[in-house]
Amino acid sequence: MSDTPLLELRNISKRFGGLQALDRVDFNLREGETHALVGENGAGKSTLMRILSGIYQPDEGEYVFDGKPVQFHNPVDALRAGIGMIHQELSVMPQLSVAENVFLGRQPGRAGIIAWKEMNRVAEEELHNLGFDIDVRRPLESYPMGIHQVVEVLRVILSGARVLIMDEPTTALSPSEVDRLIQLVDALRKQNRSIIYISHFLNEVMQVADRVTVLRNGQKIDTLDIEQASLGKLISLILGRSIEDTLPAAEDVHFERNALEVQGLQSDVFHDISFNVGAGEVVSIYGPIGAGHFDLARAIFGLYRFDDGALIVDGKPFPKGFDAKYAIKAGAAYAIESRRKSLLMDEPNYKNITMPHLGKISGFIPRPQKEIKIADQAMTQVHVQPHEPTSAVGRLSGGNQQKIAIARWLTFPPKVFIASEPTRGMDVGAKKEVLGILRDFRNQGYGVLVVSSEPETALAVADRIIVMSHGRIVATMPNSESLDKDALMRLV
């Protein structure tokens, strides 16, 4: 890869009314390089790339491509010059074949007659060169979204693009498809293609980029070789304040006893997941919806199939193919994210609390007085108000319903307690109470695993935080007062 820039943007400025979207931004791209562009929403990334691809015109500045000054009045001009953009919203036609999509609008042939055999052959050959061997005669809609993106990339390449702008390319992809996209970027690099890679997922940036440029509030902050970058440094540059010290590589945490050990768990939605939860520790797994952490929680409790890996609770390995009944007997408890799915809203509080344990309480023969007594003690422990064991759970507030969902596991205390979205939809007071209950569990020696899409919840309760994105663990760190939600959100 040459150090001589293939593409240079110099002093680019753009204003929309009173908003200075870009302020004298410089950016360059080398031949055969993958150069990532990162920054918060509104930092100017998309505006800069829309200028480069001919969608917008700059108010000031110039750009040089292959040593010559250029100006693009529209995307067609840019593509003719060799610059193509892959947008988040793909422009494929799923009902057509893969080959037809590759050659959309420029099918080979004469006199309006398409050369189908030639088109299929070239499409198959070009996809093979990128590492994808698929039947190009099948409709594109029969393939997953990752293949749609590969087809769009190939179409732009065959249109003559030497520079590819990829705008948030993994947003709609599954973990396995993200892996394949990263392989695609590597294949394009080997073909000496130059790529501008825009992404919010900094872990991906660290995997694919040769260099990374950070924009903030319409200005270029810095450009780093990827060897000089770290997640902490990038987040600090993006946010404009130093948080590097709050993102150390997590030290090995040792407890006298692990309540939960997860070893190499693998499924269709999460990959190579390994971590421990100590007895007397709260671990939060934070990630956006779709990160795979909720399915991971279900898998630990026997409600979601995983293909490989091992689970150990309180030193005892779980057998292959275990179910929730086995997990409960082994000492696992799970409060799912939907209170309405976990509770019988028309049934009394005491039945909701004793339901998982009827076999132990009464041999499955209903004994209401005994159940009410047990439920009464559990409701007292978690401060349910109003304290009415025989009242329908549906009459309680959301916060008190969540307390009931937690209280059912106090009858026979577990070794590890898993809580998915434990504070979702609650007011501040209710959140504080529920998180206090989880901390009490920790103080009593339970292992507590909190799974949440709310960074505030993860930070409020955890001793240690695991961050997941696209089905993978991307960071593990001890909690600290200086770690905040912005830093966590930048990691995904």
Give the pLDDT score at 1.
62
Instruction: Give the long-range contacts of residues 208-211, CB within 8 A, separation 24 or more.
Output: 208/34, 208/36, 208/182, 209/34, 209/35, 209/36, 210/1, 210/30, 210/33, 210/34, 210/35, 211/33, 211/35, 211/36
Check pLDDT > 50 for residue 250: no
Distance, in Å, from the CA atom of 360 to the CA atom of 412, rounded to the nearest integer, reads 9
pLDDT band at 249 (very low <50, low <70, confident <90, very high): very low
Question: Which domains occur in the chain, in start order?
Answer: 5-242 (3.40.50.300), 258-490 (3.40.50.300)
pLDDT for res 108: 66
For residue 19, give Cα distances in angstroms to 9, 59, 369: 21, 13, 68
- Residue 352 has a pLDDT of 78
The pLDDT, as a whole number, for residue 254 is 56
DSSP β-bridge partners for residue 10:
62
Asked if residue 223 lies in contact with residue 195, where contact means CB atoms within 8 angstroms, the answer is: no
Indicate the pairing of strand 194-198 with strand 163-167: parallel
Residue 13 has pLDDT above 80, yes or no: yes
The mean of the pLDDT values for the chain is 85
Whose tokens are 């086995």? That residue is: 326
- 137-188 pLDDT per residue, tens: 999 999 888 888 888 888 888 888 899 999 888 877 777 778 888 888 988 8
Q: Which residue has the higher pLDDT, 446 or 349?
A: 446
* Of the listed ranges 314-318, 381-385, 419-423, 447-451, the one predicted with least confidence: 381-385
Q: Above 50 in pLDDT, residue 335?
A: yes
> Which among 26, 15, 19 has a CA at the least distance from the CA of 52?
26
Q: What is the DSSP string of 4-60?
A: SEEEEEEEEEEEETTEEEEEEEEEEEETT-EEEEE--TTSSHHHHHHHHTTSS--SE
The least confident of 56-60, 293-297, 362-366, 440-444 is 362-366
Provide the token pair at 241.
């304040």
Give me the sheet containing 316-317, strands edge to edge: 273-278, 258-266, 308-313, 316-317
Q: How far, CA to CA in Å, does 129 sit from each of 5, 134, 165, 170, 186?
A: 26, 12, 20, 21, 12
Nearest CA to 294 among 174, 121, 421?
421
pLDDT in tens, 279-329: 999 999 999 888 899 999 999 999 999 999 999 999 999 999 999 989 988
The mean per-residue pLDDT over the stretch 101-124 comes to 79
Q: What amino acid is encoded at 237 in this protein? A: L
Is the confidence at residue 119, as pLDDT, over 50? Answer: yes
Structure-token match 């793909």, residue found: 90
Cβ count near 27 (within 10 Å): 21
Question: What pLDDT band is residue 198 in, cutting at 50, 70 and 90?
Answer: very high
Query: What string of DSSP letters covers 129-162?
Result: HTT----TTSBGGGS-HHHHHHHHHHHHHHTT-S
Question: In the predicted model, what is the mean pLDDT of residues 70-86?
Answer: 90
**Residue 219: pLDDT band with limits 50, 70, 90:** very high
- Of 300, 340, 321, 304, the closest CA to residue 449 belongs to 300
- Amino acid at the residue 244: E
